């Protein structure tokens, strides 16, 4: 790659010099959000239109120049790390809301729009975009590229369920529209769904048409402490069978909650609990009230220490109960809380719901046997187990060696139980070896045939996720 020729071409496509960085590219654009994985690039570019993206990709394809698409850069697995150099396409300048169509209940946005800004905009207008990953400062395009899930998936589903249509630029610079505002689509292959969750390996997203629903009338959160995690998880299965339609069902071990408390200065009630289940109900006020009451009896009969409906203000019975926002703030900050304590490896393995307790028991045993701290929390309603594997005082060589050994065991156990590598973070670089090892070979072969067909020169986010090394 001739860097001077590349920069000359980029300046022809993008006349604004401020949107091209070729020297001293800031570290954050070369790394993941945890700063563990680092790459390099010849140029960092901030496109403002589909036309600019198309021209850049045409040139990159012609000359075999690697391209790494990037949204807000909040990924935890290295999906936006430029491993082969080349061009970083940063979409933070393509962050506009293009159209709100209340007749079709859709909104059309650019990929760089932040999730928190999208949600605020639609909720101010009585509408609702349900996907709710923990990082609200993530981009819509990034959410789509990883098929992000989040806490509300148990009721509403994941990002894929709310993408009606996409405009993408293919590896050779062609502009393609897949899907649209229609509710039903049985017309040929679903190209849209091929791009969702592909982590930027098949095309670059430039426009998103998203499904909206009416904003729920009310919402209620409930905190349920349990003497131990096993009792809590067992109770979750009863909750899911009770037809109470919870919006979110989260679980947290006490040891990770303690880290969140110390990080934010918020104290959970019932510190003697071994675990907590955090529930949310939303909908019409009567429906919410009835569902919450149904679950109250069920959880208390299932061994809960208490059943604590949360309000907007602190309560002070025998135990001080913080406001709902503070309780959720601790849940949302658990990864950052662990990171403030020690370097850690974030994991988001998925197992069948009824195997969650067995998997976490395995992890806790692995913790004891290996001496490597592993704290658990996650989405109990869909079997998505988040682990923070803590480095502690290990030197770098020991950390990498022991982490590899223990993660090999954890992922193998998950697959043994019928699980999968990732529920919502994607695969990127850090989980690639586990996906390649545990996924059936015939599945990998089909994925790589698709990659070869859509990106024959492998310029888009190569050497990540499912992509096999070319022999």
In contact, 263 and 337? CB cutoff 8 Å:
yes
Task: Provide the pLDDT for residue 335.
Answer: 82
pLDDT tens sequence across 164-218: 999 999 999 999 999 999 999 889 999 999 999 999 999 999 999 999 999 999 9
Output the pLDDT for position 384.
Answer: 93
Q: Is the pLDDT of residue 230 over 90?
A: no
Mean pLDDT of the 16-35 span: 92
Find out if CATH 3.40.50.2000 is the number for domain 97-214.
no
Question: What pLDDT sits at residue 299?
Answer: 95
Does the structure show a pLDDT above 90 at 219?
yes
Write the CA distances from 150 to 128, 130, 227, 272, 354, integer angstroms: 15, 9, 26, 28, 19
The phi-psi region of residue 82 (left if phi > 0; otherwise alpha if psi is between -120 and 50; otherwise beta) is beta
Do residues 72 and 121 lie in contact, with contact meaning Cβ atoms separated by under 8 Å? no
Q: Is the distance from CB of 202 to CB of 447 less than 8 angstroms?
A: no
Query: How does residue 422 score in pLDDT terms, banded at 50, 70 and 90?
Result: very high
**pTM for this one?**
0.93
pLDDT for 469: 85
Q: Is the pLDDT of residue 433 over 70?
A: yes
Q: Please check whether residue 351 is in contact with residue 417, taking contact to mean a CB–CB distance below 8 angstroms.
A: yes
Q: Tell me the CATH number for domain 3-90.
A: 3.30.43.10
Give the confidence band of 319 by pLDDT, cuts at 50, 70, 90. Answer: low
What pLDDT sits at residue 317? 58
Give the tokens for residue 100.
């709100």
Please determine, for residue 221, whether its predicted confidence score (pLDDT) is greater than 60. Answer: yes
- Round the average pLDDT of the chain to a whole number and report it: 93
Q: Which residue has the higher pLDDT, 377 or 89?
A: 89
Which pLDDT score, from 0 to 100, does residue 46 have?
A: 98
Q: Residue 103: is it exposed, middle or buried by C-beta count within 10 angstroms (0-12/13-18/19+)? A: exposed
At 381 the pLDDT is: 87
Fold that domain 218-332 belongs to in CATH: Alpha-Beta Plaits (3.30.70)
Confidence of residue 34 (pLDDT cuts 50, 70, 90): confident
Which pLDDT does position 315 carry in this prediction?
A: 74
Closest CA relative to residue 13, chosen from 39, 46, 41: 46
Q: What is the pLDDT of residue 318?
A: 55
What residue spans define the domains of the chain? 3-90, 97-214, 218-332, 342-427
Say what the pLDDT of residue 57 is.
98
Residue 345, beta-bridge partner list: 389
pLDDT > 90 fraction of the chain, expressed in percent and rounded: 81
The runs of H, that is alpha helices, within 213-269 are 229-241, 254-264
Give CA–CA dist 101/107, Å, rounded: 6
Q: With cut-offs at 50, 70 and 90, classify the pLDDT of residue 113.
A: very high
In this structure, CATH architecture of domain 342-427: 2-Layer Sandwich (3.30)
Q: How many CB atoms lie within 10 A of CB 372?
A: 20
- For the cut 90, the answer to whether the pLDDT of residue 135 exceeds it is no
Residue among 163, 174, 155, 157 nearest 198 (CA):
163
pLDDT for 432 equals 95
Domains 218-332 and 342-427 share a fold: yes
| 229/315 Cα distance (integer angstroms) | 25
């Amino acid at each position: 790659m001739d860097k001077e020729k590349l920069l000359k071409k980029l300046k022809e496509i993008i006349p604004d010099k401020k949107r091209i960085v070729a020297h001293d590219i800031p570290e954050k654009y070369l790394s993941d959000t945890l700063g563990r994985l680092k790459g390099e690039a010849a140029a960092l570019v901030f496109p403002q239109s589909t036309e600019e993206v198309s021209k850049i990709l045409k040139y990159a394809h012609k000359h075999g120049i690697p391209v790494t698409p990037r949204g807000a850069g909040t990924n935890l697995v290295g999906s936006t790390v430029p491993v082969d150099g080349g061009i970083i396409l940063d979409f933070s300048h393509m962050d506009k809301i293009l159209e709100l169509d209340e007749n079709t209940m859709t909104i059309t946005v650019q990929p760089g729009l932040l999730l928190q800004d999208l949600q605020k905009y639609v909720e101010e207008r009585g509408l609702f975009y349900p996907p709710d990953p923990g990082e609200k400062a993530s981009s819509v395009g990034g959410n789509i590229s990883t098929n992000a899930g989040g806490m509300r998936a148990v009721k509403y589903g994941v990002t894929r369920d709310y993408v009606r249509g996409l405009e993408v630029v293919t590896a050779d610079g062609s502009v393609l529209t897949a899907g649209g505002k229609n509710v039903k689509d049985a017309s040929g292959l679903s190209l849209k769904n091929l791009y969702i969750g592909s982590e930027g390996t098949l095309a670059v997203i430039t426009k998103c048409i998203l499904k909206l629903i009416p904003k729920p009338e009310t919402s209620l959160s409930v905190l349920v402490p349990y003497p131990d995690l096993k009792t809590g998880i067992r109770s979750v299965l009863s909750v899911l069978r009770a037809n109470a339609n919870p919006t979110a069902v989260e679980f947290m071990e006490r040891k990770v909650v303690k880290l969140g408390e110390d990080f934010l200065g918020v104290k959970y009630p019932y510190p003697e609990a071994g675990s907590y289940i955090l529930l949310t109900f939303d909908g019409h006020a009567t429906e919410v009230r009835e569902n919450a009451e149904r679950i109250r009896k069920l959880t208390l009969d299932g061994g809960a220490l208490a059943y604590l409906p949360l309000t907007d203000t602190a309560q002070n019975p025998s135990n001080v109960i913080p406001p709902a926002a503070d309780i959720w703030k601790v849940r949302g900050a658990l990864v950052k809380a662990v990171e403030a304590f020690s370097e850690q490896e974030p994991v988001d393995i998925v197992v069948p719901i009824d195997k969650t307790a067995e998997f976490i028991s395995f992890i806790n045993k692995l913790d004891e046997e290996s001496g490597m701290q592993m704290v658990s929390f996650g989405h109990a309603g869909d079997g998505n187990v988040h682990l923070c594997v803590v480095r502690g005082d290990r030197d770098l060589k020991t950390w990498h060696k022991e982490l590899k050994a223990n993660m090999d065991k954890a992922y193998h156990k998950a697959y043994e139980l019928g699980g999968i590598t990732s529920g919502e973070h994607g695969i990127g670089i850090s989980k690639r070896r586990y996906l390649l090892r545990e996924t059936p070979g015939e599945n990998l072969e089909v994925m790589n045939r698709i990659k070869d067909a859509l990106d024959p020169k492998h310029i888009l986010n190569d050497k990540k996720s499912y992509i096999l090394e070319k022999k």
